[in-house]
Amino acid sequence: FPSEHYQLYVPESAQVGSAVGKIKANDADTGSNADMKYTIINGDGSGVFSISTDKETREGILSLKKPLNYEKKKSYTLNIEGANTHLDFRFSHLGPFKDVTMLKVIVGDVDEPPLFTMPSYVMEVYENAKIGTPVGTVTAHDPDAANSLVRYFIDHNTEEDRYFTIDASTGTIKTAKIFDREETPWYNITVAASEIDNPGLVSHVPVGVRILDVNDNPPELARDYDVVVCENTKPGQVIQTITATDKDDSANGARFHFSLDEGLSLNPNFTLRNNEDNTASILTRRRRYSRTTQDIYYLPVLISDGGVPPLSSSSTLTIRVCACERDGRVRTCHAEAFLSSAGLSTGALIAILLCIVILLAIVVLFITLRRSKKEPLIISEEDVRENVVTYDDEGGGEEDTEAFDITALRNPSAAEELKYRRDVRPEVKPLSRHHPSSSLDSIDVQEFIKQRLAEADLDPSVPPYDSLQTYAYEGHRSEAGSISSLDSATTHSDQDYNYLGDWGPEFKKLAELYGEIEPERTT
């Protein structure tokens, strides 16, 4: 080695496994005769540092095996030996072919982040604890000689981190919500610490919070049981074994107790036996059950756990009565089994229903025929009682002239001679009612109606009931004449409409209607 003493500065923040320095010994030989190996033979730093040889440069590479801490040890001394790997015994008397030097390593002080007292923390808190309940405390300190104050906070990177709060000065963690162990039994959070003087130096530590169980869930049946009892069962026979579950931890509900509700009267049909192994058996108490009498039974069961405080719940079992084979296999529980027990087959039931339908059809047909039967309209001559005959036939309106002459109702002057009813044949010759035309022209309408009323009262040919006759006569023509245009088509007009033909093709049709122009005909 060129020197007997060497000195190396290594900061305490150096990473384990990293190279912190180099050292080299000189050899006048060349080739393989110059190859050498470096080793640490003694010194207080042999357990902290290691050395390896670079075959290309023939240098010794000093690496860090353990982390440095300036506050605990500020320097290390190493004795390093360099020796040839290839020896020629012919020149052994010239040896030794090795050399030793001393290396002093100075550890440099570096401002380090706070250091937690534990690499990780595990804390516990009971479920249903009030908000603000303390969970635990983390502790960190400044490893440097300055011993700066430390500030704590929680990294809110996940939703779970928002369920807790921490005191920035003391590091005490508290709950920020009410927990339910059955929903989430474990939470993982990360607590960070930094120096107040240098907030950029931050260290982290994981904290796990276990939620302890509280007996707050009553036990319940493990599933919905379909309990069946056979009709030919015997007393004391087990028909079902039931179990229960509890959402709480096994320490607060692992042992269940089954019983019948003591508040109810003694059940004469079924009983329950607690098996002392978290199960219970349902047993019958009497012989033979009949579906025709009762096909469903209900059995209330009380279940309690062994937690502190103990909790209980009540469940109701539904027990169906079914027909079974001799070996206990269920044959059927459907309603059609009742029909077979009564001796009626499916074909017999269909025949009975068909007969009932036919009978109902006959009754309906008979009632319909009775209602559709009408009384005869012709009354016997021997029946002298007063009869009322109702005609539901509807007339034909003003165009129906078979019953009477409409002109007689419109204008009295038109009724110069008597018009007979066409729908009734008179049995007696009516009275003659001829009036001179001059009297008809000058007669008043009121007098005309009175005459018609008197003639109807004395005429034996009219029907034997009151008749309503409507006269729409408007009275005598005024001297000024009618202003209506209804009869204008039948009377001659002095108006000349020939000028309509000069108005153009748009008024051609109107000119044909009112003028003397004859419409064009196509052949």
* CATH number for the domain that contains residue 75: 2.60.40.60
Residue 268 covered by a domain: yes
Residue 191 is part of which domain span?
115-212
Q: Are both 314 and 279 inside the same structural domain?
A: yes
Q: Are both 154 and 242 inside the same structural domain?
A: no
Q: Which helix (H) or strand (E) holds 511?
A: helix 508-514
Going by C-alpha positions, the residue among 3, 14, 17 that lies closest to residue 80 is 3
Going by C-alpha positions, the residue among 124, 142, 131 that lies closest to residue 164 is 131
- pLDDT at site 474: 61
What is the four-CA torsion angle of 22, 26, 29, 33, rounded to 10 degrees? -40
Residue 253 covered by a domain: yes
- Among the candidates 66, 84, 108, a domain finishes at 108
Planar angle of CA 459, 460, 463, nearest 5 degrees: 100
CB 80 within 8 A of CB 23: yes
Contacts of the segment 11-14: beta carbons below 8 A, 24+ positions apart:
11/68, 11/107, 11/108, 11/110, 12/67, 12/68, 12/69, 12/70, 12/107, 12/108, 12/109, 12/110, 12/112, 13/68, 13/110, 13/112, 14/64, 14/67, 14/68
Q: Are both 182 and 139 inside the same structural domain?
A: yes
Q: Are both 101 and 122 inside the same structural domain?
A: no
Residue 45 covered by a domain: yes
Residue 193 covered by a domain: yes
Q: Are both 226 and 318 inside the same structural domain?
A: yes
Phi, psi (5° rounding) for residue 82?
Answer: -120, 125
Q: Are both 203 and 245 inside the same structural domain?
A: no
Per-residue pLDDT in tens (0 to 9) along the chain, 523 residues = 999 899 999 998 888 999 999 999 998 888 888 889 999 988 788 889 999 998 888 899 999 999 888 888 889 999 999 998 888 777 777 778 889 999 999 998 887 889 999 999 999 999 999 999 999 999 999 887 777 899 999 987 777 668 899 999 999 999 999 998 888 899 999 999 998 888 888 999 999 999 998 888 888 899 999 999 998 888 999 999 999 988 877 665 458 889 988 777 888 899 999 998 889 999 999 988 888 888 899 999 999 887 778 888 899 999 999 988 887 788 888 655 444 445 556 778 888 999 999 999 999 999 988 887 655 555 555 555 555 656 566 655 555 555 555 555 555 554 444 444 444 555 545 545 545 444 555 557 778 888 887 887 787 776 665 666 665 556 665 565 555 555 555 555 556 677 777 787 788 787 777 765 555 544 4
Phi, psi (5° rounding) for residue 116?
Answer: -75, 150
Residue 207 covered by a domain: yes
Q: Are both 134 and 192 inside the same structural domain?
A: yes
- pLDDT at site 416: 47
Q: Are both 36 and 96 inside the same structural domain?
A: yes
Q: Which residues of 51-81 are buried (b: 16+ CB within 10 A; e: fewer)?
A: bebeeeebbbbbebeeebebeeeeebebebb
Residue 199 identity (one-letter amino acid): P
CB 258 within 8 A of CB 303: yes
CB atoms within 10 A of CB 151: 17
Residue 37 covered by a domain: yes
Contacts of 418 (CB under 8 A, 6+ apart): 430, 432, 433, 434
Q: What is the Cα–Cα distance from 96 to 118, expressed in whole angstroms?
A: 51
CB 120 within 8 A of CB 205: yes
CB 434 within 8 A of CB 417: yes
Cα 371 to Cα 77, 365, 367, 472, distances in angstroms = 133, 10, 6, 43
- Among the candidates 212, 244, 272, a domain finishes at 212
DSSP output for 93-118? GG---EEEEEEEEEEEP--PPPEESS
- Among the candidates 85, 108, 131, a domain finishes at 108
Q: Are both 16 and 104 inside the same structural domain?
A: yes
CA 475, 479, 485, 490 dihedral sign is: positive
Q: Give how far the C-alpha of residue 9 lies from the chain's centroid of Cα atoms, to the nearest Å.
A: 71
Q: Are both 88 and 119 inside the same structural domain?
A: no
pTM above 0.75, yes or no: no
Going by C-alpha positions, the residue among 243, 224, 325, 239 that lies closest to residue 283 is 239
Q: How many domains does the chain have?
A: 3
Cα 331 to Cα 229, 290, 303, 340, distances in angstroms = 12, 14, 32, 13
Residue 209 burial (CB < 10 Å; 0-12/13-18/19+)? buried
Residue 494 covered by a domain: no
Residue-wise pLDDT tens digits, 326-381: 877 888 886 554 444 455 567 788 889 999 999 999 999 999 888 876 555 555 55
Q: Are both 42 and 86 inside the same structural domain?
A: yes
Residue 437 covered by a domain: no
Residue the block writes with tokens 């025709």? 292
Q: Give how far the C-alpha of residue 426 lies from the chain's centroid of Cα atoms, to the nearest Å.
A: 86
Cα 257 to Cα 185, 227, 247, 281, 318, distances in angstroms = 26, 20, 16, 12, 20
- pLDDT at site 377: 52
Q: Are both 227 and 315 inside the same structural domain?
A: yes
Residue 375 identity (one-letter amino acid): E
Residue-wise pLDDT tens digits, 386-412: 556 565 666 555 555 555 555 555 555
